[in-house]
Structure 1
Amino acid sequence: MSFFQNAAKVFNKAVTPLLSAPVVGDRLAKSMAVISYTGRRTGKTFSTPVNYQKRDDDSLIIGVMMPDSKTWWRNFYPDPAPITVAIGDTARTGTAVAQRDEKRGVRVKVTFEA
């Protein structure tokens, strides 16, 4: 595991409980969520905090920073897969699909179920 992956693991463990804490959680929920998904190869359920870029009633866009050093988004590339997104005290299910752009950036679009 690389230095970056170790640092991200420590950061994720510290941030995840803060997202549901009073006062702090409300502020963080304006740009952060916890996603849960099932790994395509392992079949295990994973949860990780993410920073989202855009949110409306029907969808959410997650920009993946440094995508080549992360693996979670590959569960949604190139085919869509189920996902749960928790923002504050509200969790919603939907379908996510990752897309690469011409500059090798990655965005994950989540479309929520009605």
Structure 2
Amino acid sequence: MTLGSSILRLARPVNSVVVAASGLPVIGPRIRGVVAPITYTGRRSGRPYTLPVGYRISGDTVTIRAATPHEKSWWRNFLGNGAPMRIQLGEERTGHAVAHRDDRGRAEVTLKLDPA
């Protein structure tokens, strides 16, 4: 078993804890300031997925950097023309997300929010 596969095996339970903790009254606001759950539909499975991601927001644009993109596949759902995404920012917001990969292999997803 590689380090990458060990990390991936832990991701689901850790993600569940982070999403649950973001709803708690004491620590939730701190978590929600830097981590938000996104929901998207898998490009092959057609199933909805929800996971917490770190984000930055500027106006109506949310930037999500995919940590260890070579070990994760969620961001690939947004390559090419992109796809719809929902994000919980206090209230649920919708938008269109597009993934980009730079020459160093880093992956970033840019979510353009729909008008509130």
TM-score interval for Structure 1 and Structure 2 normalised by the shorter chain: over 0.9
For the residue of structure 2 that corresponds to 1:111, the secondary structure is: strand
For the residue of structure 2 that corresponds to 1:79, the secondary structure is: coil
Q: CA offset at residue 62 of structure 1? A: 0.4
Gaps of 5+ in 1: none
**Distance in 2 (alpha carbons) for counterparts of 1:39 and 1:31:** 24
**Distance in 2 (alpha carbons) for counterparts of 1:57 and 1:90:** 15
**Distance in 1 (alpha carbons) for counterparts of 2:59 and 2:28:** 20
Gaps of 5+ in 2: none
Q: CA offset at residue 16 of structure 1? A: 0.8
Q: CA offset at residue 56 of structure 1? A: 2.4
**Distance in 1 (alpha carbons) for counterparts of 2:19 and 2:46:** 22
Q: Which residue of 2 aligns with 1:12?
A: 15
Q: CA offset at residue 8 of structure 1? A: 1.1
For the residue of structure 2 that corresponds to 1:9, the secondary structure is: helix
Q: CA offset at residue 36 of structure 1? A: 0.1
Compute the RMSD of aligned alpha carbons. Answer: 1.3
Alignment coverage as a number of residue pairs: 112
Deviations, residues 56-82 of structure 1 (Å, cap 9, x unaligned) = 230100011100111110100122100
Q: Which residue of 2 aligns with 1:21?
A: 24
Moved more, 98-107 or 19-28: 19-28
**Distance in 2 (alpha carbons) for counterparts of 1:93 and 1:57:** 14
**Distance in 2 (alpha carbons) for counterparts of 1:23 and 1:109:** 30
Matched, 1:59 2:61: yes
Q: Which amino acid aligns with 1:112?
A: L
Tell me the TM-score normalised to structure 2 length: 0.91
For the residue of structure 2 that corresponds to 1:14, the secondary structure is: helix
**Distance in 1 (alpha carbons) for counterparts of 2:42 and 2:68:** 20
Q: Which residue of 2 aligns with 1:100?
A: 101
Q: Which amino acid aligns with 1:42?
A: S
